[in-house]
Structure formats: structure tokens, C-alpha cells
Structure 1
Amino acid sequence: MSGTAQRVDWRALWRTGDLARFCFVSLGILLHATNETMIATIMPAMVGELSGVELVGWSLAIYELGSIVAGAAAGRLITYVPLRTNMMVAALLYSVGAAVCAMAPSMAWFLVGRLIEGFGGGALVALAFVSVERLFPRAIWPQLFAIMSAIWGVAAFTGPVLGALASELLSWRWAFGLFAFAGIAMATATYLVLKGPAATQASGNSREAPPFPYPALAVLAIGVILIASAGVEIQVVRSSLVLLLGLGGLALFFWVDGLRPRSRLFPSRLFDWRTPLGAGMTMIAVFSVATISFSIYGPLILTSLHGIPVLTTGYVIAAESIAWSVLSILVAGARPGLEKPIIVGGASMIALGIAGFAWAVPAGNIPAIVFCAVLQGGGFGIAWPFVTRVIVTSAGSDERTVASSAVPTMQRIGYAVGAATTGIIANASGFSHGLNPETARGVASWLFLAFIPLGLVGVAAAIRIARHAGTDLMPEGRLVEEPVKGS
């Protein structure tokens, strides 16, 4: 391309059916993201019925673990199991998990349901991301990633509001019941709609399918569970030791993943800041860890400390999602020369949002909280499509499929680690003694102050990758212009 971005003929994509298929495949993101964000606003009612406030962080961490495992499986099963079959099974797993959550008699059973839900939702998201890399020209990847961000944003808007309305008007259990029916509906629609060869035939054969990364995922699960366990019952020596073991488990996971090239979840040179891929993956990892605090504990703190209605907290979280979606669409067609300030500006907005929450949440200042949410969501919205493109296009030609599926996988790992870490911080600050205004006051600031250093690391990573934005990297490291499809 020359100095301007290639124009996308959306009407042509619609006439061929490609756009409709892309939108349908992306509905899995709608189910996954709505459920993921809904948990924040049902948490006060759920904890009141099931108790177990010390396990609040587990509700997201265990969900993300299931998503990671399923995402890894889906990226491999598609080689010899048709897309339609993969999506139907994933939707049914999602439905079963939601049903278990809806009928859970205790927090333990609720966590089992969340794990099953994670399996289904993670597979649906991974299938959507891999479809972009395999089915569509590279020139329109930013636009497709922007649509996916918009879908995620719409889902993230409806999730908190749905959870709040269900909790206030019916019961938090009804929210999960709706998702159980939605999973069945998507499985049925998948069977009826996806009928072409690309959906009903495997993309390869069983000999081509890479082995499943059992050792790496086992180490990852152990690492995240150890981190989460460190915060359940705070004892300085025990908690510190378990936390160190968990962090060591994460490091071991990335090392084990790199030992087996055919089954790896991530491309090589994963965190090497000398490459745009390494800096980009670092940015995704640290911001995913650093921004999960408000989604998990914000409604709990605001309702218990300031008496703010749960529906209001739902609207606050929705504001973050709206900012993500709107800004993502507005910048999707930006010309290459603007991508550098967009990426750095987006990262800076996220970091400022994290720092602002540290003051606004303890103060209970709703306008300031909304502003911080818009900063954080808007920062993700404008930076994410271009960071994702830089990561995928800078990977070697034999690693681009791995790189495309690695982006949501890294987000899932970041959310899981962030949820586990916030559990430690919350319980160490007072939540382990029960939920009341006094403990909420002790937790409110530390949940955000602790992650400001990670926000600064994310900005530094954005500065490193920004110089590569607007160009593609060949495996040899030479900068080249991206050819226009068909030329």
C-alpha cells in the first residue's frame, strides 16, 4: 500500500456471504463476553446467597482457565474436525456450564459451572480469531478486528446491565438460565446456517494436527491456582511462598510451551522487546492483568462502601464498553501514519484510567469513575486492533496462525492472573474478614494502586511497538509494504 489505507468494499463482502459468515462466527464472542462481564454486577447478590466473598477472584480466574484450555484445543481441532462441529460442541458446553451456575447450591458448585462455561466460551472466541487469519485478506484484518472489538463492546455493555436487572427484578440465577438457553440456540443455529464446505469439512487431516499441549496447560493451571490460593487465607509466610511458587509456575509454563514447536500456544521470542511481536504481547499481557480489578470488585466496593445501586455500577462498566466499541470503529480505517500516536495514546489512556480509579473508587465519585472507565475502555478500543495487526504480521509465516490465536489466549491468561492477584490484594486488605463498609474501605485504593507499575510497563511496550505500526515485518526482519490483494 502507499500512504493511504486500503478501502474495504463492504458491499462486496456482503454479496459473497463472507461478511455474514464472519458476523455469525463472531456471535460466540457475544456470548462469552456478556457472561464474562455480567459476573461483576451479580456478585453482590450471589455472595449474599452463597457466601464465599474470599473466593470472588476465583469466579473469573477459573472461567479464564477453562477459556485458555478450550482455546488451545479449538485451534488444533479445527485441523481435522469441521468448524461447524467445533462451534456446536463449544456452544453446548457453554450451555451446560451456565445451567450448573444457575442451579448451584454452593460456591464450589458455582465454580464448577464457571469452569465448564469457560471451556465453551473460550473455544468460541478462539474459533472467531483463527477464522480471521485463515479466511480473510490481511489488508482488512484491522477492520475485522475492529468489528470483533465492537461486538465485544456491545456484549460487555449488555452483560453488566443484564446482571444488574436480573439481580434486582428476578434473581441472579435467571441471568445464567438465559445463557443456558442462548447456548442451545447458538448450537442449533450453527447446524442450520453453516453449511458450506469451509464449515463442514476439516481444514486438514489428523496427521497434520499438532499435538495438544497437555504439559504446558497443566503447568499453567497449577500456577494460576497457586496464585489464587495464596490469597484465600492470608498468612505471611505461607501466602508468600505459595505466591512465589505460582509465579514460578507461570514462568515454567512459557518455557515448557517453547520446548515443543508443533504444539506451542505462543510464537517464538514471545516477550523479546527487540521485536514488535514481543513488545506487543507484553503490552497485552500487562494491561490484561492490570485492568481487571474494577470488573471484579468495583460493584462490591461501591455498593457496600457507598450504597450505590448495583444497576448504576452496571452502567459504569457499560460506559467502558461503549468507549471501547465506539473508538475502535472510529480509528479502524486510520492511515498508517496515524497508527503510532494511536497505539501510544491508547496505552496512555489505559494507564491513566488505572491510576484514576485509585482515587475515584474510594471517594465514590461517580462522574470521575465514569471518566476513568471511558479512558480505560477507549484506550483499549483505539490501540487493540493495530497492536493485534502488528503482532500477527510481524510473526514468521509459519507462526501467523499461532500468533493470531495467541492474542486472545494471552488476554485470557492475563485476566486469570489478574483475577487471582486481585484476590490476594483484596483479602490481604480486609475482605478475608467478611464484606462490610470497613473492609471495603481498606480494599478500595490498593486494588488499583498495586497495578499502576504494570500500567507504566504497558505504556513503555506501546512506545516500543509504535515505530513498527503501519508496516509489516517479514520473517527476516525487513520492513516491506503490504501488497494490495489481487495485485
Structure 2
Amino acid sequence: MHTRDVPPDRHLQFIPSSGASVNEDIHHTSKTGWAALLSGANGVRSLALAGGVALHAINVYIATTILPSVVRDIGGLDLYAWNTTVFVIASILGSALSAKLLQQTGPRGAYAIAATMFAFGALICAVSPSMPIMLIGRLVQGFGGGFLIALAYAMIRLVFDEALWPRAMALVSGMWGVGTLVGPAVGGIFAELGIWRAAFWSLAPVAILFGLLAATVLPKRDVRATQRSSVPFAQLALLMASILAISAGSTSSDLTRNIIGIVAAVVLTVLLINVEGRARQKLLPLGSFHPTTAIAALYATMSLLAITVTSSEIFVPLFLQVLHHQSPLWAGFLAALMAAGWTLGSITSAGASGRSVSRMITIGPLLGLVGMAALTVLLPKASGGTWLALTPICLALFGIGLGVGLAWPHLLTRVLKVTIPSEQELAAASITTIQLFATAMGAAVAGLVVNAGGLIDPGGTEGTTSAASWLFGTFTLAPLLCLVSARRVAKA
């Protein structure tokens, strides 16, 4: 699952630590190649921005890998999906509040505070005696993580020339590749040793070290900044409440509770749209909820791609361990193939232009559809864990991620290009808001589907088989619908 972004306030200006102006620095690094992005002052900034996302990504895959071991130790199978839901909801709130944090502390201070909060959340997870306490730790971690990823995308627009945006987006997204290598390895090794708590202990000092590094290389705040932006708290509250409504219903296999949760989420979403339409302080750019606009088609495509990945990624390690007899380490690595595909796709397609961009955008959901259909057939079939049985599953996971990666950098860049100049900052913020909302909603609905599908009752191999069939069969609809919205985006 990828939580792969709120910019500084539009009235804040930043100057590099050297004293040179950002515009002047951009003027000297206007080339479009990777060398321009990764060398000189741009290289240092790229390291800082990508490092925060890498830390966030590593944590995601550590948590995903060790969660089956956590449940076996402290219980909470019915709250399995809540680990992702709570983390992502907190990330949404963190990203939304990051503009205020930037106004008060500047990028250096904001990164330091975000990293400290992230580390504190990891420590809570490490000492958790029960799943509810674990969820508190995930909440704090998510809040800090929301700051980290919001800063990354916001600073891309502020410190890099527009010609470098696609590659900078690809670099930031590519940090999920680092997460796919480090996260499952760290989580899997500790889980197999029976000391899953050590995985969280290891994150805390790394987060603190990164905060210190970022604080030394990021730009300073311009003291001339005077105006302040406000946060659309009403819309954020309704957005988070809609996710929590489905999550609350997902903790039970009772159909009545499931339906109540879904109905409540729909009602809250309708209220969100109405409040957003009348509010002065917007959560999203104008036209976001109008089906005929380009920005609406972009958001729909992004959301459906994110939901496709999230719905699969959360439960794949559990399914691989129960149905295909994989160790926590291998289950984590195999599940991370989706993120590896995302990373490769992002880096490969970053240099595309012209008609090639439209092709990348339409290929994404097509690969997702094929991959999800394959998982619907293959993953629920229990096996002895032979490579003959696992290879097609691995290809399907990788293909889903590859499709998202091919389209993702160009979708994000188009979001910034189709919005009017006065809403550029809001558009940059919306990247995180939309992605995290889709991720949280996907996790919540996935939890509802697997619990209703038998993961809890009857449970065991029989229940897990049924849950896997229902999960992938249901969420195959996401890339299918995405094909429609992606075609609209490609033709725009």
C-alpha cells in the first residue's frame, strides 16, 4: 500500500541555506535530465525530500510484514485492516496541517518535528501490549508520516524547475522501491526471530537521524512572510468520519453492521461535497467534484489506482503465510513486488512525452485489471509454496504495481498543470489528500470484505480462502472503472 502532500502556504517564500534565491538556483539547473536533478544543490535537496518518503515507505512495509506475527502475539485480527486505516487517516490530517507547521517553523523545523513525532509513534508500537495501544502508536506515526510526504511533494514545486517535476515525482515515488527492499527484510527477520517489537525499536533512531540531516540541508523560512492560511477542518472532519464509518462496520462479519457503515460513509461523503461547495477555504481545487472536468477525471484515476494497490497489499502477506506456507520474511518480500513494480514503472516512464504519456496513463489500469483477475484465480488456491504456484502470483503483483508506476508521475504532473495559477498550492496539497483518502477507503472496504468473506468466521484456512476470493474478486472492479477515467485523462 502506498502512501506515496501539502505545500507551504502560498504566502511563504523560502531561501536556500546558502543565501542564494531559489529562482536563481533554478535558472542554473533548468536541464531536464536526471543529472540536473541529482547533482549540485538539486541533488542535496532531492536527497532530503526522497529520504522522508523512504522512511515512511520502509515503515509501511515493516508493519505489513510483521502484522501477522503481531496479531498472533497480542491479538486483534478483527482490527487487522485498522492498522492501515488509522495510519492513513492520521497521515491525511498531518499533511493538511503541514502548511501551518511550515509557517511556524519553516521546512527545517517542520522536518525535525515530523521525524520526532514519527519516532515517538514507533516507540509506542514497540511497547504495545494490545492492538488498541498499537493503533495509538500507528496514529502518531501516521501523523508524522503525513508531514514527511506532504513536504516532499510541496518542495518539488517550490525548488525545482517545472521541466524537472516528472523526474522529481518519479524519484519520490521511487523511494517505495527502497521500502520494498528494506522494510520486508527488517520486518521479516525480526518476525522470524520472534522479536517483532525490535522492528519498531529500530525505526526510532533512524527517524531522529534523518530529522537532523534534513534540518541541516533544507531551505530556511523567509521572515518576511506575514499572511496565514486556514485549514478546511469541516471538510477534513467529514472525510475522516466517512472512512471511520466503513472501518467501524468492517470489524464485524455481521452484514447489517457492514451495510450501516457503508450507508453512513455515503451520507458523510455527500455532506463533504456540499460543505466543500459552499466553503471559502477549499480542500480541493475548483471542479474536483464535477464529473466533466479534467481535474475530476485525474482524481478518479489516481483514486482507483491507489485503491487497487491498497486492497491487495494489506492482506497479501497474511494470505501468503496461511494459504501458501511462506515465512514472514518471504511473504513480506513477495507482497512488496507490487511496490517494486510501481518504482520501476515510475522511473521508466518519467522521461516520456507527447503521445507516450497518454499511452502510459491508459496502460496502467489495464495491467491492474489483468493482475487483479489473476490474483482472484490464483491466490485463494492453497499450495505447498512451490515456485510453480508462486511465480504467476508474483508476476500478477508486480504487474499491478508496474501499471500504477507507469501512469503515476504523469497523473501528478497533470494535476499541477490543469489547475489555475491561484490554486497551484492547493493542487499540490490535493495530491496527498486524494491518494491518502483513497488508500484509507480502500483499506477500510478491504477489511469489510474479508471479514464478511470469512476471515474471522469460520476463520482458519477455509475462512482465509473465502476471504481472498471475495477480496480480489470485488476489487477487480477498481481497475475496470479506472480504464474509463484513464481514457478521459489521456484524451484531454
TM over 0.5: yes
TM-superposed CA distance for 1:467, in Å, is 1.7
What is the distance in 1 between the residues matched to 2:194 and 2:222? 43
Structure 2 counterparts to residues 257-268 of structure 1, below 5 A: 257-262=276-281, 264-268=282-286
TM-superposed CA distance for 1:432, in Å, is 2.6
Q: Does 1:161 align with 2:185?
A: yes
SS in 2 for 1:433: coil
Whichever residue aligns with residue 79 of structure 2, its letter is L
1:308 is matched with 326
Contact 1:154 1:321 in 2 (8 A): no
Structure 2 counterparts to residues 305-344 of structure 1, below 5 A: 305-344=323-362
Whichever residue aligns with residue 233 of structure 2, its letter is Y
Write out per-residue CA displacement over residues 446-465 of structure 1, whole angstroms, 9 at most, x where no aligned residue: 11111122221111111000
Write out per-residue CA displacement over residues 358-385 of structure 1, whole angstroms, 9 at most, x where no aligned residue: 1121125311111111111101111000
Q: Does 1:199 align with 2:220?
A: yes
Structure 2 counterparts to residues 355-366 of structure 1, below 5 A: 355-364=373-382, 365-366=389-390
Summarize the Cα distance change of 1:406–1:297 in structure 2 as closer, same or farther, 3 Å threshold: same
1:390 is matched with 414
Contact 1:271 1:281 in 2 (8 A): no
SS in 2 for 1:334: coil
Write out per-residue CA displacement over residues 134-161 of structure 1, whole angstroms, 9 at most, x where no aligned residue: 2222121111111112112222332223
Pick aligned residue for 1:297 from 310, 315, 332: 315
SS in 1 for 2:422: coil
Identity %: 28
Gaps of 5+ in 2: 1-29, 383-388
2:77 is matched with 53
2:4 is matched with none
1:112 is matched with 136
Q: Does 1:230 align with 2:230?
A: no
Summarize the Cα distance change of 1:9–1:457 in structure 2 as closer, same or farther, 3 Å threshold: closer
What is the distance in 2 between the residues matched to 1:203 and 1:21? 23
Write out per-residue CA displacement over residues 40-74 of structure 1, whole angstroms, 9 at most, x where no aligned residue: 21111100001110100100000000000000011
Q: TM-score, normalised by structure 2?
A: 0.88
Write out per-residue CA displacement over residues 286-305 of structure 1, whole angstroms, 9 at most, x where no aligned residue: 22223212221111122112
Summarize the Cα distance change of 1:9–1:459 in structure 2 as closer, same or farther, 3 Å threshold: closer
Gaps of 5+ in 1: 1-5, 469-487
Q: After superposing the two structures, state which structure 1 stretch, 79-88 or 444-453, moved more.
A: 79-88
Q: Does 1:242 align with 2:278?
A: no
Structure 2 counterparts to residues 51-200 of structure 1, below 5 A: 51-194=75-218, 198-200=219-221
Summarize the Cα distance change of 1:466–1:62 in structure 2 as closer, same or farther, 3 Å threshold: same
What is the distance in 1 between the residues matched to 2:344 and 2:240? 35
Contact 2:255 2:452 in 1 (8 A): no
Whichever residue aligns with residue 442 of structure 2, its letter is G
Write out per-residue CA displacement over residues 4-59 of structure 1, whole angstroms, 9 at most, x where no aligned residue: xx952554555541221122122110111111222221111100001110100100
What is the distance in 2 between the residues matched to 1:13 and 1:430? 49
What is the distance in 1 between the residues matched to 2:163 and 2:224? 23
Whichever residue aligns with residue 290 of structure 2, its letter is D
Write out per-residue CA displacement over residues 308-349 of structure 1, whole angstroms, 9 at most, x where no aligned residue: 222222221232222222222122112312111111012211
Write out per-residue CA displacement over residues 143-201 of structure 1, whole angstroms, 9 at most, x where no aligned residue: 1111112112222332223211221135111111111111211222233333xxx3344
Q: TM-score, normalised by structure 1?
A: 0.89
What is the distance in 2 between the residues matched to 1:244 and 1:60? 21
Contact 2:33 2:164 in 1 (8 A): no
Contact 1:80 1:202 in 2 (8 A): no
Summarize the Cα distance change of 1:405–1:171 in structure 2 as closer, same or farther, 3 Å threshold: same
Summarize the Cα distance change of 1:452–1:91 in structure 2 as closer, same or farther, 3 Å threshold: same
TM-superposed CA distance for 1:421, in Å, is 0.7
What is the distance in 2 between the residues matched to 1:269 and 1:118? 29
Contact 2:192 2:327 in 1 (8 A): no
SS in 1 for 2:220: helix
Contact 2:245 2:261 in 1 (8 A): yes
- What is the total number of aligned residue pairs between the two structures? 457
What is the distance in 2 between the residues matched to 1:110 and 1:200? 36
SS in 2 for 1:308: coil
TM-superposed CA distance for 1:101, in Å, is 0.3
